[in-house]
Structure 1
Amino acid sequence: MAKRLIILSDLWGKERSGWVNNYIRYLKEGFEVQYYDCCELGGVDKSIYAEEVLHRQFVNGGVGRAVEQLLTLEKGKVSILAFSVGGTIAWKFALESDRVESLYCVSSTRLRYETIRPEGKIELYFGQNDPFIPQKRWLDKINVVYSILPDKDHQFYAEAEFSEHLSRHILNKDNH
């Protein structure tokens, strides 16, 4: 049976995540893939579909509700690929459970507020031009593998070239 990999969306959820298919196309070669819309997991109201409104809802309870949903939905061991706010949800899920084998967070800049590192393999990816990337001091203190991609902004994860590169890396790393 294939290992299970869950993918957690960014704050936009499924409405603006056509790019996630670039990851799924590769990752389904080695995993049973499950994609989650973080807005749905967190009970975030999308009636005002604006970044500031969605962000505020995640910060004010949506992240916690999403973690609770994942604790209910995912009972076995998983690897997680998460984008932006999805990475914060994945990190907190990993802290609350012993179910995460590998965690790949892309542009999850809110992790800079975390002080406890979950168990397991963790890799973080950030765009050099993202104004909210964690400082090197935090990255070194939290003791994770990380990459800062030159000349990239927050949503570099939507680029087909990066999705292929990261997907192949995950396939090679998690299936050996």
Structure 2
Amino acid sequence: MKQRLIILSDLCGSEKSDWLIYYTHILNQKYDLVYYDSCQLGNVDTSSNDQQIIHQQFVEGGIRKAISQLIELEQNPIKILAFSIGGLIAWRYGLLTGNIKSLICISSTRLRKEVYKPKGEIELYFGEKDAYRPPMEWFINQNVKFEVIPNKHHEIYTEREFAEEFSLKLCNIQSH
């Protein structure tokens, strides 16, 4: 039986995540994937294509709503792969429930404001050129496993090469 892997979207949600297939076509081999659109969880209106407007909705209550929804949907320990804002939602879900087996966050820059960390195995990935990634002291204080990928920006997770290499690694499959 395949292990469940919860995927939490970035702030663009499912409408603008064509890149997700770079992960799922590999991860499907090993995991039973469950996808949650962070915008739908947070009741965020995505009719505007302006990322700042969408981001503001998350900050003004969407994050809290998304966490509450996730708590209702997932009541047992889970493994999560989260992108950007999805990582913050998963992190706080873990703090409130203790239900994180493992949490992998990619480009979850708002984590830099978190003081406490959830229980469970945590891995964080950031592009070196992501202006909002946490400072080195934060990683040390949090005592988390992390990787800063050289010469990459916030959107690293949307790049096919990164996504496929990452997914192969997650599945313990050697790339060719």
Task: Tell me which interval the TM-score lies in, with the shorter structure as reference length.
Answer: over 0.9
Cα distance in structure 1, aligned partners of 2:68 and 2:87: 15
Q: Which residue of 1 aligns with 2:19?
A: 19
Q: Which residue of 1 aligns with 2:109?
A: 109
Q: Does the CA-based 8 Å contact 1:125-1:148 persist in structure 2?
A: yes
Partner letter of residue 61 of structure 1? G
Name the residue aligned to 2:72.
Answer: 72
Question: What's the offset of the Cα at 1:15?
Answer: 1.1
Instruction: State the alpha-carbon separation in 1 of the partners of residues 20 and 35 from structure 2.
Output: 9
Q: Give, in whole Å, the separation in 2 of the partners of 1:117 and 1:38.
A: 20
Offset of 1:49 from its aligned partner?
2.1
Gaps of 5+ in 1: none
The one-letter code sitting in structure 2 at the alignment partner of 1:42 is G
Take 2:159 and 2:17, find their aligned partners in 1: how far apart are those partners?
Answer: 12
What is the aligned partner in structure 1 of residue 155 from structure 2?
A: 155
Counterpart residue number, 1:168: 168
The AA in structure 2 aligned to 1:39 is C
Deviation of residue 156 (structure 1)? 0.8
2-structure distance, mates of 1:83, 1:126:
10
CA distance in 1, matches of 2:172, 2:59: 34
Question: Alpha-carbon deviation of 1:47?
Answer: 2.0
Unpaired runs of 5+ residues, structure 2, are none
- Counterpart in 1 of 2:40? 40
Secondary structure in 2 aligned to 1:64?
helix
Distance 1:53 1:83 in 2: 18
Q: How far 1:147 moved relative to its partner?
A: 0.6
Output the amino acid matched with 2:96: E
SS across alignment from 1:147 = strand
Q: Structure 2 counterpart of 1:160, which letter?
A: R
| C-alpha displacement of 1:97 | 1.3
Deviations 1:73-123 (A, max 9, x none): 112221100000000001011111122111000000000000001111100
* Counterpart for residue 97 of structure 2: 97
Amino acid corresponding to residue 76 of structure 1 in structure 2 = N
Moved over 2 A (4+): none
Alignment partner, residue 138 of structure 1: 138
Q: Give the Å deviation of 1:30.
A: 1.2
